Amino acid sequence: MSTPFRVPTVDISPYVGAGSAEERAATAAAFDEAARTVGFVQVVGHGVPAAVTDAFAAALDQFFFLPLEVKRRYRTPPEVNRGYAPPKTESLSLSLGLAPANRMHDFFEAFNIGAAVSDFPGLDLPESDYPENVWPAEAPEFRAAVSAYFDEASRVARTLTSMFSDALGLPQGFFERYTDHSLDVLRMNNYALEPGGLELDGDLTGMGEHTDYGIVTVLWADQVAGLQVLGRDGGWHDVSPDDGALLINLGDLMARWTNERWMSTLHRVKPPIVDGTIRRRRSAAFFHDGNIDAVIETLPTCRGDGSPYPPITVGEHIRAKLAGSRAGVANADAEREAARVLAAQAGA
């Protein structure tokens, strides 16, 4: 009998506070087990104040409730991973090389902020990878509340990579040299239909099946159905955060680093349609992707009998992924992930 799909819960408070060596070892082992078997984790004990997430949620409402013509003023070109993205202007499946019949069909709107050149004045970083943020003047509380949550999510991500060093048998601080000018992005998503805005057609997808691109993702989300994770049984399973929990999943770069000891799990969003309308759902994914010039190759503790992954820079990998999702250029270097999606579709 197969084991029912379940997203494990890990309390990371020993890494947030002054946990003992034994407590940290137990936490790292629990995360390692979850990363090897599921690839998604419910994290509690993260220390993000409820006041910060409450203000953040209110800021999302303030922006996304603006008229579409106002939000469109903050749209940036596809190659600039900042600002506003209207519904049906992206297709996450193309980041895996899968080309749907209606190519840009993901039904969600989003707003991105991230690490900028001005955040690292002593470094000569490319502005194409670290563009400056745009902030909506029509949502006056947005910048302060979003920035406060960005800082908290960044802290959680770095707490996790500290734990990763222990879980993978690496020296303490191992990942710091790969992330001291990390290409971090916070993507805020809104799933809702404006009256008369879009038709509920047959190919409507909240967010197409995809893996995340970088090291680790910290996800805040409403407790509304929609997020689905591809299990090892080949089926899609509904996932929703527990009260006060953040959902954590690993990206492609961590799968490459660990020689797939840790999973970069495929996931998607299917918008729940009730009486012909979509129930609103909000989420915010903080992508901790690493330094643009960092070279990612199989970790010494995960090499085993070899690895199919050649070295690649963070920049090379992220650009290929974004060219798919945002610019419609199918990624030709994602055969493994694409095969898993096709197998799930065949078994559906």
CATH of the domain at 29: 2.60.120.330
Q: What is the distance between the alpha carbons of residues 46 and 13, in angstroms, rounded to a whole number?
A: 6
Q: What is the distance between the alpha carbons of residues 88 and 206, in angstroms, rounded to a whole number?
A: 9
3-state secondary structure of 91: coil
Residue 241 belongs to a domain:
yes
Query: pLDDT tens string for the chain (348 positions)?
Result: 456 788 999 999 999 998 999 999 999 999 999 999 999 999 999 999 999 999 999 999 999 999 999 999 999 887 788 999 988 766 555 545 555 544 445 678 999 999 999 999 999 999 999 999 999 999 999 999 999 999 999 999 999 999 999 999 999 999 999 999 999 999 999 987 554 444 555 555 567 788 898 999 999 999 888 899 988 888 889 999 999 999 999 999 999 999 999 988 888 888 766 566 667 889 999 999 999 999 999 999 998 877 788 899 999 998 887 775 554 555 556 565 566 555 555 554
Q: What is the distance between the alpha carbons of residues 225 and 213, in angstroms, rounded to a whole number?
A: 23
Q: What pLDDT, on the 0 to 100 scale, is given for residue 185? A: 96
Residue 208 belongs to a domain:
yes
Task: Look up the domain containing 298 and give its range.
Answer: 25-347
Q: What is the distance between the alpha carbons of residues 234 and 30, in angstroms, rounded to a whole number?
A: 24
Tens digit of each residue's pLDDT (9 = 90 or more) over 67-95: 999 999 999 887 788 999 988 766 555 54
Q: What pLDDT, on the 0 to 100 scale, is given for residue 304? A: 81
Q: Give the number of other Cβ atoms within 10 Å of residue 198's Cβ.
A: 12
Residue 18 belongs to a domain:
no
Residue 190 belongs to a domain:
yes
Residue 103 belongs to a domain:
yes
Residues making up the chain, counted from first to last:
348
Q: What pLDDT, on the 0 to 100 scale, is given for residue 183? A: 94
Residue 309 belongs to a domain:
yes
Residue position matching structure tokens 């920049």:
315
Residue 137 belongs to a domain:
yes
Q: Are strands 227-230 and 236-238 parallel, antiparallel or unpaired?
A: antiparallel
Q: What is the distance between the alpha carbons of residues 96 and 345, in angstroms, rounded to a whole number?
A: 14
Q: What is the distance between the alpha carbons of residues 200 and 182, in angstroms, rounded to a whole number?
A: 39
Instruction: Answer whether 0.75 is exceeded by the pTM.
Output: yes
Residue position matching structure tokens 């990206």:
251
Q: What pLDDT, on the 0 to 100 scale, is given for residue 197? A: 46
Residue 4 belongs to a domain:
no
Domain count, the chain: 1
* DSSP symbols for 227-266: EEEE-TTS-EEE--PPTT-EEEEE-HHHHHHTTTSS----
DSSP 181: T
